[in-house]
Chain A
Amino acid sequence: MRIVVNGREHAVEAGPLTPLLQVLREELGLVGAKAGCQHGSCGTCTVLVGGEPRRACLLPVAALDGASVTTAERLGDPEHLSDVQAAFDEHYAAQCGFCTPGMMLAATALIEREGGPLTRELVVEALGGHYCRCTGYVKIVDAVIAASRGERLGAMAPSALEIRGAGS
């Protein structure tokens, strides 16, 4: 069985009904997708399959033979943040960060599908299956709307990354 993850093809050794989440984390060492509730309710394991957000904990890997999977590792890195990552950083949309990979992938897919700028109603609907126990959602929704508008605050405010860097 072969799957393409973040543009790279992998031969998968796990059994056919093993959830994609376990394959990503335990076999491929990609831990961006988090193991939260593991029955599809919390959204933190969300990845993109063929560009559409899907729950990695619910997808048997055999159903993905030949499919293209994108995880949070593909979005960007601290030096080159994607628009959604930058917006989350600038709007303080992540606190503990456990839900953040799933939120950002769902938001990325939404912006690619719908274009921008997005309405608050559309963002709330699209992220309705993602739980965050820290932020109260407002800053997350603000970040996704800002990303859909192509806004970068830049020098206007210190980002969460900069604040963390200053404190370390």
Chain B
Amino acid sequence: MLLSQPEVTVARTAAEAIEGFGDGTDVTVVAGGTIVTPLVWNGRLRPGRALLLAPSALGGLDDGETALTVGATVSLARLAEVAPEPLASAAGIPDPEIRGQATVGGNLHVAGDLQPALLALGARVRSAGAGGERVEPVADYLARLRGEPRLVLSLEVERPRAGAWVEQRRRHSHTATVLTVAVARRQDGVHVAVGSLGELRPAVTCPSVERALAAGASPREAADAVADDVDAEDDSLASAWYRKRVLPVLVARALARLEEGA
């Protein structure tokens, strides 16, 4: 039960969102509400100030032939309709209700399933905060995520030559993923990233796998190198041991799918 309500500012335009966020000090951003609402209601998060982003605030979407630019408040359902693989599959992970409600910006910030896909695609993040607006590779953005409050404005993704996605999760329902693998064939070669390595653990790229592929290794041989790239952990879904055992198999499957689709 919420004992006291924070001060809430509603932003309906990008300008209002940037102004409301300021330098991000003590601001909790709420968009689809799928992450923040239960945390606030259960008292696990007590924001002094909340910035509520209306869907229109950062809802722009430019579905170009060679690149896709998607605003932070675009829903995962909409993203799944227009994104290239592996991003489309990553956006389709949640159930239909969550997919329609959750936003691109929120998913990026909570080690969601978009992270590995965006890493594999070499996406760029446009954000606002202290020092003004900035555009940077998603890997750089994620590396700084915990230390510097930023408001995601949009993501820019170049369409790859081919992409593939493999996930491990329980049957029947749209549960959280146990492991995810995103691969993309871009102009400069094949890029690989993995996610769901532990609760709230960010996705990582797999340079060892990429180097092995570039040196001519088969997908199966290259996949074994993933052990050098990841540091999995135990959580309620799987143990670190299980993750490290299964990951090479999933990476090999993703690379095989990439070859099939190329």
Contacts and interface: CB of A to CB of B under 8 A. Distances in A.
Q: Do A and B belong to a common assembly? A: yes
Interface of A: 15-19, 22, 38-40, 43, 46, 52-55, 57-60, 62-63, 65, 106, 125-126, 128-131, 137
A63 B54 contact: yes
Contact of B101 (A58, A65, A126): A58
By secondary structure, the A interface counts as: loop
Interface stretch (B5-13, B183-191, B226-234): B5-13
B242 interface: no
Given A17-B30, A17-B50, A58 B95 contact: no
Nearest to B35: A58
Contacts of A58: 32-34, 37-38, 98, 101
A54 B5 contact: no
B173 A60 contact: no
A3 B5 CA distance: 19
Nearest to B75: A52
Contacts of A131: 173
Size bin of chain B's contact surface: 20 to 34
Nearest to A18: B2
Q: Which 9 pairs, one residue from A and one from B, show the smallest C-beta to C-beta distance?
A: A129-B95, A15-B5, A39-B38, A16-B8, A58-B34, A53-B97, A58-B37, A128-B174, A60-B33
A56 to B, nearest CB: 10
A129 B97 contact: yes
A13 to B, nearest CB: 11
B174 A57 contact: no
B37 A43 contact: no
